[in-house]
């Protein structure tokens, strides 16, 4: 197996230099603050994005369910599509089913 260019030199990792006993060298207070701040920001934005996508999926599925109750076939067909897409959007956002990019 051929290592990737990022694996060639372990001392050049973004996590910091390696100590001789295998532990990561101690970070300064400023570096630790920056790492924790970026990690917390990513976590908050990830949670907010997931909640937004689940909310949009629920709204689309509920609109589709309302259209399914109509007596004419065209709105009922659109309702089926909306229910399926809304359910897919909500479930893939929660990682219960794989997203489309993993199918290809």
Q: Please check the confidence at residue 2 and state whether its pLDDT lies above 50.
A: no
Q: What is the pTM of this model?
A: 0.66
Model confidence pLDDT, tens digit, residues 32-41: 899 999 999 9
Q: Please check the confidence at residue 13 and state whether its pLDDT lies above 80.
A: no
pLDDT tier, 98 (very low <50, low <70, confident <90, very high otherwise): very high
In 10 A of CB 82, how many CB atoms?
21
Cβ atoms of 92 and 102 closer than 8 Å: no
Model confidence pLDDT, tens digit, residues 50-78: 999 999 999 999 999 999 988 899 999 99
User: Residue 66: which of 54, 52, 83, 53 has the closest Cα?
Assistant: 83
| Alpha-carbon gap, residue 86 to 80, rounded angstroms | 10
Which DSSP string do the residues of 59-97 spell out, in sequence order?
HHHHHHHHHHTSSSHHHHHHHHHHHHHHHHHHHHHTTSS
């Amino acid at each position: 197996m051929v290592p990737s260019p990022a694996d060639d030199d372990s001392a050049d990792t973004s996590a910091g230099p390696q100590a001789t006993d295998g532990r990561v060298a101690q970070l300064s207070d400023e570096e630790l603050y920056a790492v924790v701040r970026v990690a917390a920001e990513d976590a908050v934005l990830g949670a907010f994005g997931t909640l937004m996508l689940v909310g949009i999926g629920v709204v689309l599925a509920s609109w589709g369910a309302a259209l399914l109750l109509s007596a004419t076939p065209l709105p009922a067909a659109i309702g089926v599509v909306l229910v399926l897409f809304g359910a897919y959007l909500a479930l893939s956002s929660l990682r219960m089913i794989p997203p489309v990019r993993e199918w290809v």
